[in-house]
Each structure stands twice: as C-alpha cells, then as structure tokens.
Amino acid sequence: MILRNVRLATLAGGVRRGAAMNDLALRDGVDVRIVEGRIAEIGTGLSGDGEDCGGRLLTPGLIDAHTHLIFGGCRAGEFVQRCQGATYEQIAAAGGGIRSTLRQTSECNDLVAIGRKHLDWMLANGTTTLEAKSGYAMTSVGEIAILEAYAELSQQGPQRIVPTLLGLHAVPSGIDRAAWVEEVCDNLIPEMARRGLAKYVDAFVEQGYFTPDDARLLASAAGQAGLRMRLHVDQLTSGGGAELAASLGAATADHLEQTGAAGIAALAESNTMPVLLPASVYALRKSKYPDARAMIDAGLPVVLATDFNPGSSPTPSLPFVMNLACVMMGMSPAEALSACTINAAASLGLESEIGSIEVGKYADLVLWDADDPAQIAYWIGAPLVRRVWIEGRVLRA
C-alpha cells in the first residue's frame, strides 16, 4: 500500500535533546510505501496502488508515556468540589482522591471493558502506543488483575501497551506502609516479572504517600527482577525527587512540577528522562507547571504525556497536552510533537521500532486534517485526526 502526496513530519534521526527538539525532519510531497506493517520506502513517484492524501500532514502515531488506563468509576464529584475551590489535597485528606478510585475499582468486574473504552478515546486522539500503569487496587490480587487486563488488551490490539506495575500508589487501608512495600518488593515484582506482565515499576513519592526510602527498596527489587523504573516525583511538594530518580537510574522521572535547578542538573547528568504532565496541573487548577524551558535548555530530552487518570488528569488527548505545553510552558509546537513521538518512544525503550517514520519501523501513523505540524497543538479540541494506522492496518478514529 502507498500513501501518496503527504507532508511528512518524519522525526527521523533519533531522540531529540535541547535545540534538536525543534527539528521534525519534514519532507514535502512524498509517498510512503507500507509492506507487512512496516515502512518499506519513502520517496517521490513510487509505483503501485495508492491513495492520494492531498498534501496532508502525516506524523508518527502519538505515544503516551504515562497513563493510568484502567480504573473504576470517575471522580466528577471531586471536580465539582474543585470548581468550588476545594484543593486536591483537601479532597484526598477527606477520604477522596486515589482512595476513592481504589474503592470504585474494587467494585468492577470487567476491567478489560473499561480499558477498551479508554483505548478508543485515545485512538480518536492519535495515540498508537501507550504506557499503562496498574495502581488502583493496592492489593496483590487486584494489581495482578489490572496487569492481566493490560496483557489481554495488548493482545487484542490495536494499540501497543507497555505495562507498568505502580505498586506504590497509595498506602492501602488495613496494612502499614512498610508491610505493603515488602509485599510489593518480595512478591508482586518478582511474580509480575516472571509472568512478563510488567516492564516497569513505579511509585508515587510524595508526602503522605511513599518515601524516597520506599522508592530505593522498590528500585532494588526491580533491578533484581530485571525491570526498570519510572517514578512520580516532585508533583505536589518539592522533595528532591528528580535527584532521587536520577540516582536510582530510573528510566523516567515523571511530573517534576516542583523541580528546580539542582534537580534539572541531576537529570542532565543521568539517563533519566523527564516526563511532563501539564494536564494534571491544569485539571487540579494549580499554577505551577514544570519548567520545561529550563529542562530543554539543559539539553534534556523532554517527554510529554497525558497522565490519563480519573483524579488529576481526566484527558486521553495528547494534542490537548501539546497545546498546554505550548501555552502554559512555552514549548514550541515542534518541541511538543518531538516530546510525544520519538522522545516518548525512547522513554519506553522502543525508539528502534516506533516514534518516527523511517524505513524498517512499524507503520504507526496519523494523517491529520492539517498541513502544518503546528496545527496539532494550535487547534484546541478540534477532531483533527483523520486516519490512524497501526502496523499498517488502517483504523478510522
């Protein structure tokens, strides 16, 4: 199959750091040949059957490197409270927050159906690969059930799902923190690794949730099991989280709203990639966004993700996140697109397979109702995704 006459944002050339994040490696008026799910040829006047795309923009499928895909119910009631001035922290202290979702998730008997609904929302927004965390059970049985649902969804497709065991999300009731950390480290991590149900582990390092020492124990258990780490750090309070993630050799440090110069310097000296989640700042009606400009100036390969979850970030839309990154953090639309494609792929260890349009890579593609890549971040809430392909299979969003 050939897609003719497209404006390509290829993102070829590998992970982007610093100034290179502005380079989309554009090619105008080219044809793309897809054979057996992969990009076979890019050029002009390719011979064979094809479809004229009218000069529209074709990008790599978007990659969402931080989602909480499966959870029960929703927290629209908390949203109403926040609209009236209550804070996320006040709502959590009153028994809402993550605990409310733990209760609602425990009442669900079809986790796969919930995940399917959310995957459809993401597909409509151009997401072809996503990371998906457990974390809304906080019992071994429940965490395993969420990861099993990810394995089933991944097998069904169409999207590629990279599973993360978020074993330390909220301290479960009826068991103390240390006992739960031990259960996660001694039992859950080895079992999930053995069964291939998790590629990463994660913890919410925050006052009232889990401590840097808990994260260290998690890192050592993950290391022994051959899993890498992603960490929620410096979201609500500044606790040296970026430095912690860097020192533990985490693949990513996520959130980073409160991270300052020292944390950015620590990341710059490590291979830990910053994953920024501006929709969670916006939805919580907070004003302090991560300092994306300082991170890019420091040469970091910034990643953007939705943080899709029912509490702090109820959006499945990476184009919306890209808009926030531009409007609220001063990123350019091109930087935002690099952050949601090749950089996101690298944060998941998949940069050799996805994240750019290059010969040999999977044909995960989005055709946009636009010709200028800046339009993806520019239009807010417009249904710009015209067509999506995953491994060469066309899926109408």
Contacts for 344 with CB less than 8 Å, ≥ 6 apart: 62, 63, 64, 65, 303, 304, 305, 355
Residues 186-205 that bind ligand NIG (CB under 6 A): 204
**Quick check: 232 binds ligand NIG (CB under 6 A)?**
yes
Count Cβ neighbours within 10 Å for each residue of 69-108 and write b for 16 or more, e otherwise: bbbbbebeebbebbeeeeebeebbeeebbbbbbbebbeeb
**Closer to ligand NIG at the Cβ: 40 or 74?**
74
**Closer to Fe ion at the Cβ: 156 or 237?**
237
The answer to whether the CB of 199 falls within 8 A of the CB of 163 is: yes
**Closer to ligand NIG at the Cβ: 5 or 164?**
164
- Residues near Fe ion (CB under 5 A), total: 1
Segment interacting with ligand NIG (CB under 6 A) among 41-49, 121-129, 307-315, 385-393: 307-315
**Closer to ligand NIG at the Cβ: 116 or 286?**
286
User: Computed over its alpha carbons, how large is the radius of gyration of the chain?
Assistant: 20
**Quick check: 306 binds ligand NIG (CB under 6 A)?**
no
Segment interacting with ligand NIG (CB under 6 A) among 1-9, 223-231, 306-314, 372-380: 306-314
HEC states along 100-117?
Answer: HHHHHHHCCCCHHHHHHH
Output the smallest distance, CB 375 to ligand NIG, in A. 28
- CA atoms of 94 and 300, how far apart (whole Å): 38
Residue nearest to Fe ion (CB): 307
Segment interacting with Fe ion (CB under 5 A) among 7-15, 34-42, 79-87, 299-307: 299-307
Residue nearest to ligand NIG (CB): 311
**Quick check: 259 binds ligand NIG (CB under 6 A)?**
no
Segment interacting with Fe ion (CB under 5 A) among 20-28, 175-183, 285-293, 307-315: 307-315
HEC states along 31-88?
Answer: EEEEECCEEEEEECCCCCCEEECCCCEEEECEEECCECCCCCCCCHHHHHHHHCCCCH
- Which residues contribute to the site for Fe ion (CB under 5 A)? 307
